Chain A
Amino acid sequence: MEITLIDTIILASYFVLLAIVAFFAKKKIKGLTDYFLAGRRLTLPIFIATLVSTWYGGILGVGQYSYFSGLGNWLTQGIFYYIMALIFALFLAHKIRKSNLFTIPDQLEKFYDKKSRFLGSIFNFILVTPAPYILSLGVIFMFLFGLPKWIGIVLVLAILIVYTIYSGFYGVIYTDFMQFIFMMVGVALVVPFAIFKYGGFEFLTANLPETHLHITGGLTAQMILVWGFIAFWTFVDPGFYQRCYAAKDSKIPRKGILISIGFWILFDICTTFSGMYAFAANKAGHISIEILENGLPQPEVYMIFANSVLPPVIMGLFLIGIIATLMSTIDSFTLLGAMNISHDMYKHTFKPDATDKQVMKVTKIGIVITASFGATLALFFSGIISMWYTIGTVCISALIVPVLGGFFIKTKKPPISGFLSMIAGASVSTVWMLNGYSNLSWGWPVFWFEIEPMYPGILAALLVYILIIGLSKIYKPVEVT
């Protein structure tokens, strides 16, 4: 794709602006709570902006999926998540804020024991790997500038590592606000331009298969259901927890998530219809999209389509919007991964007497480790959606039962129940998944009994959890007098 000089200048200015915002954010850091949670002073507008932009990172995957399944994308990547976010807002958000902790592993130690914290922090670390989003950035830079994937990744990560190390969570939230504006405005402009260039609904109905205009998008019930289960991610999403912990008071998380759902609905309508327009424009011969072996279009589909309808300058804004969507997720996830290393593993597992200064130093090293780990994964994997799916399946199977059980099951729980439930969930889903990936059909895994690995994973975690709690009620320890 050819990018104009003016759009290149607009893109470069965005990176300069990021650095300036991070520079001013640094001045607010006085201690560790400032570095981790912005001093627990998030007001409603910034809570919304940082949550909306961080949670929405898979913009290229969404472009591919809306091209592939039309309105089915809105159901699988939108509606399910709104429902989960709504439940989170109504039943979890205030409890999390009131707990006054820092991370999900903190919650696990509070509910169970140190072993659960340690194991939970490993799953948490994998869950927040920014790899899929780093891979997306590599794809974008390769596409825009013809650079090898690794050069784009290294360049952008260098900027991101510097500003995250330098300004911590304050830097993340202030840059997120800026990215939120670019993301919303850039993406919102595509559909109106598409309507003026190609025509309205008639253009879509003439060029789309009927299934694309149906809410299921022609997807099978099993596929829809598994995306519904992947949306359980919300309940163990470290980004959600971190923002709730950082809110100024316990009312902000609930209000903030409810308003965020409104933003996601408006935004998802734009991305879904852009994907549908891309399909129709390809069918009508206006653009040319390559289809991959698994039936999905090439990851750059959204940009190719936008380039066909947007004039220069607006296209530059759109590109910033796409990059901002990714950057806001990568910086937040990188800091969360680093907090896992410094707060959960270093301080609470290996060196309980570590000072705040030492923890902050390890966090900075952790930022480099997390970003490098993500970049390495990104260089070896090629599919964005499959990476999401694999990470989500294993880590959600491990974490969801002990985390939700901790919040909602009031009866006394033996400390080992959290640890063993995580082991059971992760091992069953991993074995199930590996078996599926060893039998590929048309690029898609074929699982035992055609059942997705997340179901047996969560079921195993739940059974072990209930069994241990049940057994602890029957076999109470004998008190020796």
Chain B
Amino acid sequence: MDIVSMFLIVDSVVLIIATFVLTYFFFKDLLKDKK
């Protein structure tokens, strides 16, 4: 696989992981707020 394709796949994977990390912190804040 060429370097550009690898870069594009990594970009997509990082975007998805970053989204779920942000979601984790969102729920953490939400639960803290409820307590």
Interface residues of A (CB under 8 A from B): 43-46, 48-49, 177, 180-181, 184-185, 188-189, 191-192, 195, 200-202, 204, 262-263, 266-267, 269-270, 273
A45 to B11, CA, bound (A): 20
Count how many chain B residues have C-beta atoms less than 8 Å from C-beta atoms of the other chain.
Answer: 20
Among B3, B9, B22, B29, which residue has its beta carbon within 8 angstroms of that of A192?
A: B9
Shortest C-beta distance, B19 to chain A (Å), equals 4
Interface residues of B (CB under 8 A from A): 1-5, 8-9, 11-16, 18-19, 22-23, 25-26, 29
In the complex formed, the residue of A with least CB distance to B3 is A201
- Whether B18 lies near A266 (C-beta < 8 A) is yes
- Whether B15 lies near A200 (C-beta < 8 A) is no
Chain B residues closer than 8 Å to A269, beta-carbon distance: 8, 11
Chain B residues closer than 8 Å to A267, beta-carbon distance: 15
In the A-B complex, list the 8 residue pairs whose CB atoms are closest, starting with the nearest: A200-B5, A201-B4, A45-B26, A184-B19, A266-B15, A188-B12, A45-B25, A188-B15
- Whether B8 lies near A195 (C-beta < 8 A) is yes
A46 to B23, CA, bound (A): 9
- Whether A273 lies near B8 (C-beta < 8 A) is yes
A191 to B9, CA, bound (A): 7
A195 to B11, CA, bound (A): 13
A267 to B2, CA, bound (A): 21
Chain B residues closer than 8 Å to A180, beta-carbon distance: 19, 22
A267 to B9, CA, bound (A): 12
- Whether B11 lies near A44 (C-beta < 8 A) is no
Among A185, A201, A262, A266, which residue has its beta carbon within 8 angstroms of that of B5?
A: A201
The 29 listed contacts between A and B (C-beta, < 8 Å) are A44-B25, A46-B26, A49-B22, A49-B26, A180-B22, A181-B19, A181-B23, A184-B15, A184-B18, A184-B19, A189-B12, A191-B8, A191-B9, A191-B12, A192-B9, A195-B5, A195-B8, A195-B9, A200-B4, A200-B5, A201-B5, A262-B18, A263-B18, A266-B11, A266-B15, A270-B11, A270-B12, A270-B15, A273-B8
16 further A-B contacts with Cβ under 8 Å, apart from A45-B22, A49-B22, A266-B15, are A45-B29, A185-B16, A185-B19, A188-B11, A188-B12, A188-B13, A191-B8, A191-B12, A192-B9, A200-B4, A201-B2, A201-B3, A201-B5, A263-B15, A266-B18, A273-B8
